[in-house]
Amino acid sequence: MTGQSDTERRETVVIGGGQAGLAVGYYLKQAGRSFVILEAGARIGDAWRSRWDGLRLFTPARYDGLPGMAFPASPHSFPTKDQVADYLETYAAEMRLPVRTGIRVSGLWPSEPGDGFVIAAGRRHFRAAQVVVTTGAYRRPRVPDFATELDPEITQLHSSEYRNPSQLRDGAVLVVGASNSGAEVAMTTVPGHRTVLAGPDKGKMPLRPESRLARWFDIGFWFFVNRVATLDTPIGRKAMPFVRDHGGPLERIWPADLAAAGVERTIARAVAARNGLPVLDDGRVLDVANVVWCTGFRPDFGWIHGLDAIAEDGWPRQVRGVVPGVPGLYFVGMPFLHSGGSALLGGVGRDARHVVESMAHLPRPMTTVIASETATAR
C-alpha cells in the first residue's frame, strides 16, 4: 500500500459527504473528535444535483433539516433537488465541517492488529482508528441482464443517468419500474413521446403530500417511520426488504395523474429481449426507441477488503450502524439501516448520533495528526 510518510492519521475518517456523512460530522464535531470527511464529488450536494431535472422532495421542508439546522424554506414547501444540494453545502460551511471534496476512496483495509484501518484514495492514504462509511445506497444501478440484448439503436438510460427528454431519441419510451422514480420520469417523457410505464403496482400514499390534511398525517408518518418501523419491531422487519429493495408507494404522482397525462400503465414486468425489443411478461413485444430503467440500485461495497463487514446479499452486517465483528467500523445512511427514516434527510440524524455515541468509549483523539492541515471547512 504505502509508507508512513505520505499517510495522514485521523482518529476518524468519514467516507462520503452526503447528508449521512455531514450528520455524522455534526455529532463528531459536537463530541470534539478529530476527523475528516472525504467526498468524491467536486461539490457537496452533487449526488442531488445530478438527479433528473424537476425532481422535488416528497418530504416537506419541516422534515428535511439535518441536526442543528432547519431547512431554510417554508415548512410546508417541497424543496427542489438543487435547493437540497445547496442546503447540504451551506450546512457543511455553517457547521465548519472538515470536508475534503474531490477525494474518492478506492479501498478500505484493516491495518496492523490494533491500529485501525487504512484508507486509499488514489495516491493518498489515511489511517484511522474508526471509519464511518456513508457512501449512500444509490451507487450501482440495477439493470436486468437482458438489457444487453436490446437493439443498440435503442437509447437506454438508468434513472441515475436520466436528466430530461432531450437525451431521448424520437419515438416511444418504455419506463421500467413503477415506483416513484418511474412515475416521475414517465410524466416528463409523455408530453413528447408515447410512454409505457411497466412494473408491478406499488400502491400509493393515502394523501397527496401537498394536501393540508397531509400536514397532520405527516406527524404520525414521521413518528411511525422513525420510531415504530425499526428493525427492533416486527412491522419494521417486515417492511425492511420492501423499502430497501423494491421501492415504496407512489407519493406525488398518483395512478390518476399518469392516466390523465396519457402514460400507458401496465403491471406487466419487462422480462426479456426478442429481436432486440423488450418483451413484457404478458407476452407483448414493445417497439420502443428508448428505455429508461427505474429499477433501483444495488449496494456497492466492493472496495472494502479483508473485513468481515459485508453480508452475502451485498449489504453491511450492522446493528444500528455498528459492525459487530469489526470494532471501529460503522455505516450510516442506508434505507432501513435501523428504521424507515434512516435514508431520509429528517431521519438520518438519529442514526448518526447513535453511531457517534457508540464510539464514545474509545480513547480520545489519536496523538499523530498531520502537520499541514489542508481540510476545508466549506
Enumerate binding residues for ligand FAD (CB under 6 A): 15-21, 38-41, 47, 51, 55, 57-59, 64, 104-105, 134-136, 138, 181, 333, 343-346
Q: Of 247, 244, 245, which is closest to residue 337 (Cα–Cα)?
A: 244
User: Of 206, 165, 212, whose CA–CA distance to 184 is shortest?
Assistant: 165
Residue 320 CB, nearest approach to ligand FAD (Å): 15
Q: How far is the CB of 184 from ligand FAD (least distance, A)?
A: 8
124: its cell numbers:
493518498
Q: Please, which residue, 221 or 279, has the CB nearer to ligand FAD?
A: 221
The end-to-end CA distance of the chain, in Å, is: 30
Q: Which is nearer to ligand FAD, 146 or 303 (CB)?
A: 303
Nearer to ligand FAD, 17 or 278 (CB): 17
Exposure on the CB side of residue 215, measured as CA atoms within 13 A: 9
Cβ-based nearer residue to ligand FAD, 219 or 271: 219
How far is it, in rounded angstroms, from Cα 275 to Cα 279?
10
CB 159 within 8 A of CB 54: no
Q: How far is the CB of 347 from ligand FAD (least distance, A)?
A: 7
- For ligand FAD, the closer of residues 59 and 150 by Cβ is 59
**Residue 326 one-letter amino acid:** V
CA-based nearest residue to 226, from 350, 326, 310: 350
Q: Minimum distance from CB of 157 to ligand FAD (Å)?
A: 14
Please tell me what DSSP assigns to residue 110. Answer: E
**How far apart are CB 349 and ligand FAD at their closest, in Å?**
11
Considering the complex, what minimum distance in angstroms separates the CB of residue 361 from ligand FAD? 25
3-class secondary structure, 48:
helix
Q: Which residue is nearest to ligand FAD (CB)?
A: 18
Decide whether 203 or 276 has the Cβ nearer to ligand FAD. 203
